[in-house]
Structure 1
């Protein structure tokens, strides 16, 4: 196991580890560092059509995932937002299908949900919403058709 040494930005983690009397602050940094950086990472501000109003990219991802879930009840694997100087240029949504899904029609429902939610936020997006299907879940016959299902372990 390689131990990452703390850099200047992460010295507070090693100081906290020393204060808690952990033997090696590198191990604590290795475990906590990536989680803390992702939790505190600021998103990219995205401009709306209203002058002076911006919405954080991370907040937009969360809102889009909820809109997609309400629209088609399928799991969202990832949402990638490409920006250029604060405006949205492209959105790529990675979805998880179920056996028997009509993914062409389902893709259009996802696009409509994304465009509708962005429109309600007053963010202009043309036809740059791409939907890709990255995985397939088995259908659980015991669950109602409109309920989300998880992949069995």
Structure 2
């Protein structure tokens, strides 16, 4: 787990990495960072303590978000921060002008989380092309009904 001192998102929140603010709420702010990935990248950063709500632009029209006490995974984030994320994600999605988009949040290395700090991506999908926006491959198979019921029962017991 990255420390607050070494976390790139925490450094953006603290102003140690240059960025330009786009939007701010009680718990969040959206900023453009001064680096690019295909197009500009912007981050939605939650200001309370040091958990961020990051939006990152990854195509000519995309984004991620994350909550603030330096939570590495979604379950590390207080509910009040998460309650702020989706309305801000909606505003950012609308501001991109995209009619089709993905909202993505990864937890852990094998789930493709690159920065160990909770963040969400709003990724506009300007066309059906595999060269723009998010490209998803998700293998599916027919569910065994007995196994599915067992999983459902296990999950209900944890709620």
Q: Normalising by structure 2, what TM-score?
A: 0.29
Q: Normalising by structure 1, what TM-score?
A: 0.30
More helix by share: 1
